Structure 1
Amino acid sequence: MGMASHKGLLLGVSLCALTGIVDPAWGQEAPVKAAEAEIIVTGSRVIANGNNSPIPVTVVTMEALQATKPSSVFDALLDVPAFAGSRGGTQSSASGNQASSNQINALNLRGLGPVRTLLLYDGHRVPPTQLDGLVDANIVPQMLLSRVDVVTGGASAVYGSDAIGGVVNFITDRKFKGVKLEMQRGISQQGDAGTYRIGGAFGANLFDGRGHFMASFESLHNDGLLARQRPQFAGRWTVQGNGSQANPFTLVSNLVNPAYTWGGKITGPATNPLLNTSFNSNGVLSPFVAGAKLGSLASGGDGIWDTTPSLIPMTNQTQAYGRFDYDVSDALHGYVSAAWTQDRAFNLYGNVNSQNLTISATNAFLPSAYQMQLAAAGIKTFTFSKKYAQGLVPPSNVNNNTSNVLINIGLDGKIGGFKWDLGYVYNQVRLQTLSNYTFNNGRLAAALDAVVDPFSGKTVCNVTLTNPGLYPGCVPINVFGPSSESQAAVDYVGSRGEFITRLPSHDLGFNLAGSPFSTWAGPVQMALSTEWRKQSLSLTSTSPTIDFAPLNCTGLRYNCVTPTATNLGSPTYNGAVAPRPEVGMTVIEGALEANIPLLVDKPFADAVNLNLANRYARYRAEGNPDLSAPARVTRFNAYTWKAGLDWHVSKALTLRGTHSRDIRAPNLYELYQTNAVTFSNSNTDLLTNSNLTGAGGLVQVVNGGNVNLRPEVASTTTLGLVFKPSAKFSLALDYYHIKVSDYITRINGWDVASQNACYTGNAYFCSLQVRPGSLSDTSKANAVTRWYSVPVNVAALTTQGVDVEANFRSTLVSKPFSLRALVTYQPHIYFVQPGVNRQDFAGAVGAPASYTAGAKFRAAIFAHFEPSEQWALDWETKIRGQMHQSPDATLYATPNTDVPAVAFSNLTITAKLKGPLAGRAQMYLNISNLFNQSAPITANYADQGSPGLRGGFALGDDPVGRYFRMGARLRW
């Protein structure tokens, strides 16, 4: 729950050290002595002076964030080197259609994964905004923020689950008075990716100062880049090879996928006289030119590539916020606040494709000359593959519409020497995902079976003649050519999938803090907190048949798998998402924290303080991935603790360290994702050396949750020092080591490692496959009939690194000048999973999206200069070190897959207006990527089969180029 009330002007706290000043490079407020302000430091409920915190924390003011990155708070935070692999902004990889938004801004501390970074808003936990448990930082209203606190160490003992990587706390200016307005317009040097932002805020005291009201409104728009309109993407970069010494990973450009053509390619059977021909023109076959084969792709030839993935989504965001405070008495204060955010995003993904369709040799749209050749060869059906780009079939595209309502009601006050607060937070998230074009598999199968009506002579669907009630209004589709489809047929076979996720939550908490007694070194500060919260999840889908009632093949001669005893059949919709009736989790927690002074005013010890905290939580969740089975209750407990020491050796030197046990509880989706059935024959059963069932059908693949999950447990150690010889200079250094055990990762039963683990005696991995007989039977008749894919507590993650910060503050030609440098070196992020080679994600671009980290070396340098009272200059240079291809050290890559180090610089020029608006208005020009630095070209070997769809740059780099923002701020 929430922190105690913040009062007074808050001190600035550095990333690695709590220096007690706000550096002008990141804010314009004057320094304040600790005695003049009461501060509650994020990361503790009892430490009232930032200089005494044993855990690394940074406080960044809104003025500082706006000076360097006026686009958004999220964009500015990404330049803090502690963040690595955060989701948001530009996309280095396109994603498929799911019920979660791929356009969210999810902060990722240390590259441990966004689900391991806890977000707070005014000290209150921000619940998930996505089906997969992630939190979108976009929902936090920005106009009235005063600062952002970032804790870069484990904090579960203070705040509960998810704070393994750290905590990000967005804090409002609760005493804001007056009016402020902001307007901003942005455009790239290429004349695209336009943005605008407008906002206003109002605040005033009421009832003779006992009450206070404030409100804000903000609207943001981004045109996005709905095509990859930059030269580096014209090369369609992919990484080819298999990582062996004989065939290492190699960065290659301009490859095509020979499995498809724009007009459609005939792919079988082997006896087909038209095999390997393509409809390069509507209705006319040409020999398919394969090109020079390179893995699954080819150089040259008639193959194709994806033409449509977006670089930046188009977004529209609206935020409104209001808060009312009232002092009932000198010892009792009440408040209520409400925030509403609506976020709309639109994105293009890859071109829609059809692979290995079964087409009748007498299809009415197939020219008669080709029908005759097939008849002469005794061919009754043939297989056909096509990617749609030049015709009427739209690319895969998705709208993500998120609305969020957050209400916070609370009381706080004093009883004797103790402070208390009682608060309730209600949050409701509704995420609508519209998959705007996907194939309805039943309609597509019916439309592909085109025949001639013997009575009218018109081309119709076969089912129209045989059973018109099955698919009324069926429109036959002509797929033989780049633009052969009619609009009516495209509309008929297409479907708009709608998935609505709801995530309501309730959070009630009570905190009591004060000093019950003193030691020889001073008062002992203690805090007791309790919390009850409930989180729910539900998902409705237009595709409920994916799980229980598969596509009925009645009347469909082709492209529909007839159900058998071992196979449920094909789902109705292509790319469907399984529904999830409501499930819920309740948590009851209690925590105790104490800050104990041990020494004061001793030789080599100006002060020594011991900080202790522990928390106990009980979790209860109810649901079942199998909707045909009764709900199951899942219970688990979590115990976390922290011990920290803060040793002020002298006024110039402070030593600090912490050790903590932190947790991340499994979220509702990991526990209860509905079992979704798909079908495949591409996964080899190593026991029987087969990829088909004994009955000859496709193998069921069941993807769902796991009710047996338990919390991830992290052991975190930080050791640091702060050296501050004068008010002008400070240097801080922190070492951290984090080990996460019982790490939750998804395991596929068909993976080689999973099968080998089963066949060597691990019973759990054997539960991920179903077969008719025992493991002693290696005959084809005992082939697997079902595979499972589930999240499991089976892995471990370990990382370590060093943070360095230096601050210098002086004058240049007698004018205010300051420098700040933030540096992170994170040499390793080891991921260990049984049966799989150890992975090191630090600096690896070739990693799954859920493990995206960042370069080993990351730095940001800030400079602030005021040449006159009317002008200010802010400079930022962001640096990342060299990156490499594979996280697996046993795999080989050529040097051209390495990604060179790069730096991006930003400049902001601020002018304070004179005349009647003096001191109230300023205008600014921000130039991002000042030197128009190109993002170094790279790609991920995991995407080697998708030329044009992915690749081009490393996540976190800037592929847009030089960008201009102009804006104005007014304050009364």
Structure 2
Amino acid sequence: MSVNKSKHYLRHMIHACVSGSLLVPMAAFAQQDDTPAVEEVVVTGSFIRNSAFAQNNPVDTVTQSDILESGAASMGNYIRDLPYTQNTNTVANVNAGNSGSQSSVGTTFNLRGLGENSTLTLMDGTRSVDAGINTLLPEIAIDRLEVVLDGGSALYGSDAVAGVVNLIPVKDFDGFRVRLYHQFDEPQDFEDNKIGVMFGRNFSNGINYVFAADYARTTPLMMYERPRTLRAAYGWANSGNPGVWRELDGATANPGKVHGGDLVGGNLVDPSCGTFNEVTDFGAANNNPSGIPRPGNNCFFNYNAQWPLAEGKTEYNIFQNMTFDVSDRVQLEAQMSLANRESENHNTLSYQLNANNREGLVVPESHPANPFGMDVGPWTWRPFAAAGTLPSYTDLKTGARKQTYDDTIQRYKVGARFDLTNSWTANSSYSWQRTHRDYTARMINMPNIAAALIGQGGPNGNEWFNPFGSADVRSPFYDAATTANSQALIDWIAPTVPFRTSQRELTVFEVNATGDLYELPAGMAQMAIGYQMRDIDEWDYANPLSAAGLDYNTSIIDTPPTSRNYGSRVQAAYLEFEVPLLDTLDAQIAVRHENFTTYDLQTTTPKIALRWEALPELAIRASVGESFLAPTPADARPFDPNENCGEIFFGSDPITGGVLNGGATCSSGNPKLSPETSDIWNVGFTWEPLDDLTLSMDYQSIEYTDRIRTLGTLDIVAIEFEEMLAAIGSTPEAYDPTPGSATRQAANAWVAAGGLSNVTRDSSDNQRVSRVVSQAQNVSTVWVDLFDARATYTMDTNNWGSFTTSLNATYNTKYEYADGGEVVDALGKQNGRTGIVAPVPKIKGQARLSWIRDKHSASASWNYQHHVEFDDNVNNALTGTPPPEDGRIRSQGIVNAQYTYLMDQYFDSEITLSAGISNVFDELPQRLPILGGFESRLHSPWGRQFWLSVDWRPGF
């Protein structure tokens, strides 16, 4: 290990020296050349300076004023409303992981809804080790965002399948600035607070220094704080405490090991089930603490109130940038940014039934609290729910388990720009970045709980753990002498385990040059040439309790997980030409070759574009190109079925006709992955018929093949079902899951012969799912056709000020995907039963009216999403919430408004006061009988919010 580390840091030093060696001679050369410097305008979308293509490609620019005028509490909430993004991670939803994470933290761009990993995110033109928008820069230091919407692998390499986002910081600032922001919802259940500072100085010796920092705190919003939605949500499990048991035959208690017995007979419901439910309203916190009796001898647990709609989080960001003009021709740059985000993760107090419960836990007949008079084992049960003595780390308001994730991101970059001649400029940069996550896990020690069930628990090894509802003082069966659990015993069973879960390092070295190539009859041909090296190292650390075989959620049968390290090196070379064919017609040709030495994979991606200035006011553009996305080292890691295991909360099993609740869900690597590829062609125009009117439209077609997606539990079980039907020669309509039917017997035989390797089932006749292992896979092809339209008009009046109206909209005309050979139309649908695509409204748009007069300004915006067809599983067994009568999740239009007043002569300072309302008409999400109670990938549960902002610039 020490040798590898030495090589690792030696490599960094070599790269730094190479960067420096490039700077010194070129700086000297530049100082000898007295030709005046050339003004440079660089826009994302081309390496050629002053490129007409970069400025007229389908590139959207978002300025800091755009963000401020929106009133969005964060970049994540702002980009969620952009017409070309889908399924942006801003709302937490329990287990709703289809088409991307929904944790409400670490928001990234998801262009066209093609997946967060399909958009390449740059920070100041350099790849980022972490694509989370809120941790790239302090918001006060954001100059603008530039979004390339037609793919960019020919210029920027892997990951730019759907497009490229470049976050450009403020680098030239002289003065001091402070900004305060406060936002709260109308019921005052949660709030966002932020303070940012920026300082800059232009020194006479050619040095410009910018420092910026911000602090942001978002309080959590729990589901019980939105009772209207919570009452509709499917958030129940058939495993709880009180739970359901079965007789255990032939078992020998062996803490931490399998007991060797069999669960026999029917369900035995804990006698305390449903006996002390003072609060039964599903919209309230801590409702139904003793469970909900259900037909078939079941006792359901409603876990909804223990989950958040938005995680609480605290974020710190620091950014520094220094440029030094060595001469008129040489500029050196050093950049540093640090970010830290602490997220509060809420979930159920303990995971429910898994293989360990049934194969490792024994409650003997002699247990003093055993109500059944026989040896029993858990059937559908969890150690802790909402009854009895709970672990000390329990959140008393909700009964939830609150764990913290601490993400730290470091970025360092040095570079130089130098004018080689009057027309050639070169750039070189070297960056090193690292991100790591530290986790405070609230866990359950498997041998400890097994020992406590046989009277060998606690610090002194002589206490009984009562797993029944009689442990709660409210139970009619409570007896302080025989059924109570001591706090010391519970905390011995349920420890807190802090550890580092992951670490990732990225090193990027890049050098390029751009300038005039030769004079053609129609003008000067230009060229850019460059080289890039990227090194990625990833560490995935095993939970210490799991690695020791002590974790309740890690199978006691399989090999314990181990810490792993993965790496990848990429070397790339690229060329770009801009060639004037006629006085009004230019061509852009770009090609990039990337060599992934780790995977023995090489790709070459081209792009060709034309720009025709048909009229002085009208530019027409067309492009065709390819993009690709290579598998990450983590996705391509070796397969281990016992990694990252948790709980299956929901879903039905098509083979048995039962539920998936109670099984374990794990995720592992897939070394057989191939890269994703896409073909994108675009045609569009920009027209300025009037001085203050700009119209733009693009038609784009995307074919996206071999998409890498980590399928959800439901997708994997559905694949298993399809393979089983094909093997036994049946169809979904003809298949009968009833035990004893001909098709069910054939299915049992297929499962017993091996079935699908990613799904493990009980060996008994019931064939219940005990584990599902998800992997990143090349699962599908997606076809997308769409129109992007933009219009901006400014009207100046003599007395009423200046008015600007803008409209941005995306109209999808085609969104299809191939799944198992079948082409599925996903356009205008919720796509609730697949992890391949997100909900895709046909129309998503944003209209804005802005006004400015002297020191006053105001704006109002309307963010619209078209309706989609509801196609999710209906789960209303407890709530009775019906699906939409018309089969649609309705369209939604959210209106935001803000007003700003500028005090520019206030004690030699400039003070900007802003106030606004988000969601003016308090539009609430449509209630649906699904997870979370609404479609969180489309709608937000915040309701009406108010915000205030103060921006102060002393001496300005």
Coarse TM-score class (shorter-chain normalised): 0.7 to 0.9
Moved more, 838-847 or 409-418: 838-847
Quote the residue 1:220 is aligned against. Answer: 216
Task: State the Cα distance separating 1:894 from its structure 2 match.
Answer: 6.1
1:107 and 1:117 in contact (8 A); partners too: yes
**Residue 429 (structure 1) aligned to one of 427, 435, 445:** 435
Deviation at 1:550, TM superposition (A): 4.7
Could you tell me which residue of structure 1 aligns to residue 363 of structure 2? Answer: 360
What does the per-residue CA deviation read over 1:829-849, in whole Å, with 9 as the maximum and x for residues that have no partner? Answer: 322132667362654151556
Tell me which amino acid in the other structure corresponds to 2:671. Answer: V
What SS does structure 2 have at the residue aligned with 1:334?
strand
Identity of aligned residues (%): 18
Match of 1:649 among 614, 621, 624: 614
CA contact (8 A) 2:707 2:779 kept: yes
1:877 aligns to what? 862
Cα offset for 1:420?
Answer: 0.2
- Verify the 8 A CA contact 2:541 2:564 in the aligned structure 1: yes
What SS does the corresponding residue of 1:263 show, helix, strand or coil? coil
1:856 aligns with 2:842: yes
1:60/1:595 CA distance change after superposition, 3 Å: same
> Quick one: distance in 1 between partners of 2:236 and 2:160?
44
For 1:954 and 1:781, the matched residues in 2 are separated by 39
Q: Which SS does the other structure have where 1:503 is aligned?
A: strand
Q: What is the one-letter code of the residue matched to 2:943?
A: G
Structure 1 residue 441, shift from structure 2 partner: 1.8
Structure 2 equivalent of residue 671 of structure 1: 636
Contact 1:54 1:658 in 2 (8 A): no
Query: One-letter code of the match for 1:610?
Result: A
1:599 and 1:894, CA in 2 relative to 1: closer, same or farther beyond 3 A? same
Contact 1:690 1:780 in 2 (8 A): no
SS in structure 1 opposite 2:44?
A: coil
Q: Please say which of residues 40-49 and 318-327 is displaced more in the overlay.
A: 40-49
| Distance in 2 between residues matched to 1:816 and 1:919, nearest whole Å | 25
Deviation of the 1:423 alpha carbon: 0.4
The one of 806, 818, 823 aligned to 1:820:
806
- Equivalent in the alignment of 2:48: 46
Matches within 5 A, 1:641-790: 641-672=606-637, 675-677=640-642, 703-746=667-710, 751=717, 753-754=719-720, 782-783=753-754, 787=758, 789-790=774-775
| SS in structure 2 of the partner of residue 317 of structure 1 | strand
**Alignment match, 1:310:** 308
The 1:745–1:758 alpha-carbon spacing in structure 2 relative to 1, beyond 3 Å, is farther
Deviation at 1:312, TM superposition (A): 1.1
Structure 2 counterpart SS, 1:668:
coil
Match of 2:81 among 51, 72, 79: 79
AA partner of residue 490 (structure 1) = I
Give the alignment of 1:117-516 within 5 angstroms: 117-127=119-129, 129=130, 135-206=132-203, 208-238=204-234, 257=237, 259-260=238-239, 262-266=241-245, 275=269, 277-281=271-275, 290-291=293-294, 304-355=302-353, 359-366=362-369, 370=371, 374-375=372-373, 383=379, 385-386=381-382, 388-391=385-388, 392-393=390-391, 394=394, 395-416=400-421, 417-435=423-441, 437-450=442-455, 460-461=456-457, 476-481=465-470, 482=472, 485-497=485-497, 498-516=499-517
Matches within 5 A, 1:607-622: 607-621=584-598
Q: What does the per-residue CA deviation read over 1:330-374, in whole Å, with 9 as the maximum and x for residues that have no partner?
A: 22111101001111110212343543665535243326xx4xxx4
Q: 1:898 to 1:641 in 2, by over 3 A?
A: same
The 2-side partners of 1:214 and 1:909 are apart by 29
Contact 2:828–2:839 (8 Å) recurs in 1? yes
Partner of 1:960: 942
Tell me, what secondary structure is at the counterpart of 2:452? Answer: helix
CA offsets 1:602-660 (integer angstroms, 9 cap, x no match): xxxxx111111000000022xxxxxxxxxxxx310111111111111102322111111
Q: CA deviation at 1:74?
A: 3.3
* 1:104 pairs with one of 103, 106, 110: 106
Tell me, in whole angstroms, the C-alpha distance in 2 between the residues paired with 1:228 and 1:640: 50
Q: Does 1:522 pair with 2:547?
A: no
Distance 1:174 1:477 in 2: 63
Alignment check: 8 A CA contact 1:938 1:954 kept: no
* Structure-2 residue corresponding to 1:19: none
Partners of 1:919 and 1:646 in 2: CA distance: 46
| Aligned equivalent of 1:929 | 919
Residue 40 of structure 1 aligns to a residue whose secondary structure is coil
Label 1:660 to 1:910 Cα distance change in 2 as closer, same or farther (>3 A).
Answer: same
User: Given that residues 82 and 109 in structure 1 are in contact (C-alpha distance below 8 angstroms), is that contact kept between their aligned partners in structure 2?
Assistant: yes
Amino acid corresponding to residue 569 of structure 2 in structure 1: T
Partner amino acid, structure 1, of 2:368: F
Give the alignment's TM-score, normalised by structure 2.
Answer: 0.77
CA positional deviation for 1:793:
2.5
Q: How many Å separate the matches in 1 of 2:689 and 2:564? A: 61
Distance 1:397 1:699, change over 3 A: closer
Which amino acid counterpart does residue 593 of structure 2 have in structure 1? Answer: Y
Deviation (angstroms), 1:745: 3.2
Q: Helix, strand or coil for the counterpart of 1:449?
A: coil
Q: What's the offset of the Cα at 1:232?
A: 2.4
* C-alpha distance in 2 between matches for 1:70 and 1:699: 40
Q: Which moved more, 1:740-749 or 1:641-650?
A: 740-749
Q: Which residue is 1:639 aligned to?
A: 604
Comparing 172-181 and 49-58, the one that deviates more: 49-58
Partner of 2:479: none
Q: Which amino acid letter does the alignment assign opposite residue 968 of structure 1?
A: V
Does the CA contact (< 8 Å) of 2:93 and 2:103 recur in 1? no
Which whole-Å deviations, capped at 9, do the CAs of 1:450-506 have from their partners, x for residues lacking one?
3xxxxxxxxx54xx9xxx9xx958663453334654322221111334342111111
* Aligned counterpart in structure 2 of residue 56 of structure 1, from 48, 55, 58: 58
Aligned residues: 818
The 1:363–1:385 alpha-carbon spacing in structure 2 relative to 1, beyond 3 Å, is farther
CA contact (8 A) 2:409 2:436 kept: yes
In the alignment, is the contact (CA less than 8 A) between 1:666 and 1:711 conserved in 2?
yes
CA drift of 1:717 comes to: 0.9
- Give the gaps of 5 or more residues in structure 2: 1-14, 16-37, 248-262, 278-288, 395-399, 474-483, 729-745, 759-772, 874-881
Paired residue secondary structure (2:221): coil
**2:622 aligned counterpart, secondary structure:** strand
Residues 267-286 of structure 1, C-alpha deviation per residue, up to 9 Å, x if partnerless?
56775795574444589xx9
Task: Report the equivalent of 2:891.
Answer: 901
Q: How far apart, in 2, do the equivalents of 1:330 and 1:780 lie?
A: 74
Report the Cα distance in structure 2 between the residues aligned to 1:513 and 1:74, rounded to whole angstroms. 35
Pair 887,414 (structure 1): closer, same or farther in 2 beyond 3 Å: farther
Deviation at 1:953, TM superposition (A): 3.9
- Partner SS state of residue 228, structure 2: helix
Q: For 2:271 and 2:226, how far apart are their aligned partners in 1?
A: 34
Any conservation in 1 of the 2:241–2:381 contact (CA below 8 Å)? no
Partner of 2:951: 969
* 2:933 aligned counterpart, secondary structure: coil
852-861 or 321-330, which deviates more: 852-861
**CA distances 1:852-896 after superposition (whole Å, capped 9, x unpaired):** 344221111111112x312110111111110222389xxx98645
Aligned residues: CA RMSD: 4.1
SS in 2 for 1:76: helix
- Separation (CA, whole Å) in 2 of partners of 1:163 and 1:560: 37
Secondary structure of the residue aligned to 2:448 is helix
Taking the aligned partners of 2:610 and 2:490, their CA distance within structure 1 comes to 67
Counterpart of 2:910 (choices 904, 917, 920) is: 920
